[in-house]
Chain A
Amino acid sequence: MNATAGRDKRVEIAIHNWAPRFVSAGVPLVDFEEVTAEVTRWDDWCAAWSRRGADHEALGREALAQGYKLSAAGHYTRAALCHHFGKFMFVHNLGEMRRAHEKVVECRNIALPMQDPPGERVPIPYEGKTLYGILRKPAGIGNPPVVMMCAGLDSTKEEFDVYEDICLARGLATLAFDGPGQGEAEYDMPIRGDFEVAVKAVVDYIETRKDLDAARIAIMGISLGGYYAPRGAAFEKRIKACVSLSGPYSWLEIFEGRNELSREAFRVRSHSRTMDEAREVAKTLTLQGVAGNIKCPVYIVAGEHDHLTPPENARRIAAEVGGACELNVVLGGNHVANNRRYAYQTQAADWMARQLGASR
Chain B
Amino acid sequence: MAKDARVEAAISHWAPRFVVNGVPLTDFQEVTAGVERWEDWCAAWSKRAAVHEALGDKAYADGSKLSAGEHWTCAAVCYHFGKFLFVNDMMQLKAAHTKAVECRNKALPLLDPPGERVAIPYEGKHLYGNLRKPRGVARPPVVVMCMGLDSAKEEMDDYESRFLRRGVATLAFDGPGQGEAEYDFPICPEYEKPVQAVIDYLETRGDADAKRVGVWGVSLGGYYAPRAAAFEKRIRACVALSGAYERSGSFEGRPIINVEAFRVRSHSANLDEAAKTAVRMTLKGAAQNITCPIYIVAGTKDRLTSPREAEKLAAEVKGPCVLSIIEGGNHVVNNYWYRYRDQTADWMATQLGVAKR
> Which residues in A have some Cβ–Cβ distance to B below 8 Å?
19-20, 23-24, 28-30, 56, 59, 63, 66-71, 74-75, 78, 116, 169-170, 339-343, 346-347, 349-350, 360
Contact = CB atoms under 8 A, between A and B. Distances in A.
Interface string B322-345: 000000000000011111001101
A346 B346 contact: no
B357 interface: yes
B248 interface: no
A51 to B, nearest CB: 15
Interface size class of B (residues with CB under 8 A): 20 to 34
Interface string B1-42: 000000000000001100110001110000000000000000
A283 to B, nearest CB: 35
B67 A346 contact: yes
Contact of B24 (A70, A341, A346, A347): A341
28 contacts: A20-B25, A20-B26, A24-B25, A28-B20, A28-B336, A29-B16, A30-B16, A30-B336, A59-B338, A63-B346, A68-B342, A69-B357, A70-B165, A70-B342, A71-B342, A71-B346, A74-B342, A170-B66, A341-B24, A342-B24, A342-B55, A342-B71, A346-B64, A346-B67, A347-B67, A349-B67, A350-B59, A350-B62
Interface in B255-269: none
B225 interface: no
Contacts, number: 81
Interface string B289-318: 000000000000000000000000000000
Given A20-B26, A30-B335, A66 B59 contact: no
B66 A169 contact: yes
B20 to A, nearest CB: 7
B213 interface: no
A216 B144 CA distance: 43
Interface in B68-96: 70-71, 74
A34 B220 CA distance: 28
A355 to B, nearest CB: 13
B356 interface: yes
B357 A68 contact: yes
A71 B62 contact: no
Contacts of A74: 338, 342
A360 B337 contact: no
Contacts of B25: 19-20, 23-24, 29, 339
A30 B337 CA distance: 9
Contacts of A69: 356-357
B52 A342 contact: yes
Given A30-B16, A339-B25, 15 more contacts: A19-B25, A24-B24, A30-B336, A70-B346, A74-B342, A75-B342, A78-B338, A339-B26, A340-B26, A342-B55, A343-B55, A346-B67, A350-B59, A350-B62, A350-B67
A346 B71 contact: yes
A300 B215 CA distance: 47
B338 A67 contact: no
B166 interface: yes
B112 to A, nearest CB: 6
B143 to A, nearest CB: 16
B56 to A, nearest CB: 10
A170 B64 CA distance: 9
Given A30-B16, A340-B26, A56 B165 contact: no
The 8 closest A-B pairs by CB, nearest first: A346-B67, A71-B342, A339-B26, A350-B64, A30-B335, A68-B346, A67-B356, A70-B357
